[in-house]
Amino acid sequence: MKDEELSVLFMDYLTGIKRYSPATADAYLHDLKDFRAFLNKEGFGSFKDVSRRVAKFYVADLAGRFQSASVRRKLSTLRSFYHFLVEENHLESHPFLEVKPPRRKKQLPDFIYPEEIETIFETIDISSEKGLRDFLLLELLYSTGIRVGELTQIKLKDIDLDVRTIRVHGKGNKDRYVPLGEMLSETLRDYLLRTRPNLIKHKDHKHLMVNLRGDALTTRGVRHILNQIILNAGTHQHITPHTLRHTFASHLLSRGADLRSVQEMLGHAHISSTQIYTEISKEDLKEKYLKAHPRARKNNEN
């Protein structure tokens, strides 16, 4: 049976038996056409002639042309196709069965260097009520690593300035206690004594963070305030609340904090979620070494 006929049978199987949508079936067909073009170009014969060696060669070719997610999707198509051919007795063996996709590239989270975050803090005028509120917002996100949704849920009863902790309501209704540094505790105390009462006026709610109308701050409001802070600081970096969470974790680890403690403070259920930040701290250390050590780079001068 010719390749075109096998492709038609496979499409009928996808739409008729598997009940895939026409759009999904077309995507599978597009992947088969790409594979067919590869076989023609390299002179490897028909679909039935494909060996495991050819399958591995094709995956390597895909890795040179596409991102890893696209490679994995195309490989999934071919695994389904050859599984169908084996099940329908058109082939005896499955050439793609044990062929592994390329490893996903580890994407390191964005973070800010300590001197950059300090520069941003210095641009905020804390003499005004708005300025102190904005300063506290930035310091809470950076100094505790809490999520933006967790920040907006903090109520007055969650704060204990005597023992310097905040109770945070995290994912899955799990509460955790996050420590407050001395500087953050002072900012919080000042905000609670003079800033929040003036902003909230006669509003009746117990949320810590409020907007200029005295209402509880929303996650959208937090992002808007942070964008304004970054704009006023004149930095060209794209900084989000999650960037500050990444920064919190990487700065702790680069200064010797243990992984389990950082996991607890971030509220991660699994330590594997926290381990990505050890890579950031390694990159940070490498960058500092390259900048500071006299023999870290080749001297190109004669």
Digit-coded pLDDT (tens) for 233-269: 988 778 899 899 988 988 888 788 888 888 888 988 8
CA torsion, ordered 231, 233, 239, 243, to nearest 10 deg: -160
> Which of 19, 52, 87 is at the close of a domain?
87
Asked whether residue 108 is assigned to any structural domain, the reply reads: no
* pLDDT at residue 46 in the model: 93
Q: pLDDT tens-digit profile of 65-112? A: 888 888 889 999 999 999 999 999 999 999 998 888 877 655 555 778
The CATH number of the domain holding residue 274 is 1.10.443.10
Domain count, the chain: 2
Q: For 267, what's the count of Cα atoms within 13 Å in the CB-facing half-sphere?
A: 20
Query: What are the tens digits of pLDDT across the range 266-282?
Result: 988 878 777 777 665 55
DSSP state of 101: P
Assess whether 277 and 180 both reside in one domain: yes
Residues 130 and 261 in one domain: yes
Residue 52 annotated in active site: no
Domain carrying residue 251: 114-292
Active site residue 277: yes
Between CA 108 and CA 250 the distance in angstroms is 11
- Domain presence at residue 299: no
Beta strands 165-169 and 159-160: pairing type?
Answer: antiparallel
d(C-alpha 278, C-alpha 250), whole Å: 7
Is 245 an annotated catalytic residue?
yes
Q: Is residue 172 part of a domain?
A: yes
Which one is catalytic: 171, 220, 255, 260?
171
- Segment 25-46 shows an average pLDDT of 93
- 257/125 same-domain check: yes
Find the catalytic residue in 74, 196, 245, 251.
Answer: 245
**CB within 8 Å of 42: residues ≥ 6 apart:** 57
| Domain containing residue 44: CATH number | 1.10.150
Q: Hey, what are 188's tokens?
A: 């919080």
> In terms of Cα–Cα distance, which of 232, 244, 222 is closest to 113?
244
Domain assignment present for residue 93? The answer is no
- Residue 242 a catalytic site member: yes
Domain end call among 46, 70, 87 = 87
Question: Residue type for 169, please?
Answer: H
Same domain assignment for residues 140 and 31: no
Q: Which of 74, 94, 147, 246 is catalytic?
A: 147
CA dist., res. 205 & res. 220, Å (int): 19
State the pLDDT confidence band at 290, using cuts at 50, 70 and 90: low
276/212 same-domain check = yes
Q: Are residues 136 and 279 in the same domain?
A: yes
Same domain, 278 and 225: yes
Q: Judge if 144 and 81 occupy the same domain.
A: no
Q: What is the model's pTM?
A: 0.60
Choosing from 70, 87, 104, the residue where a domain stops is 87
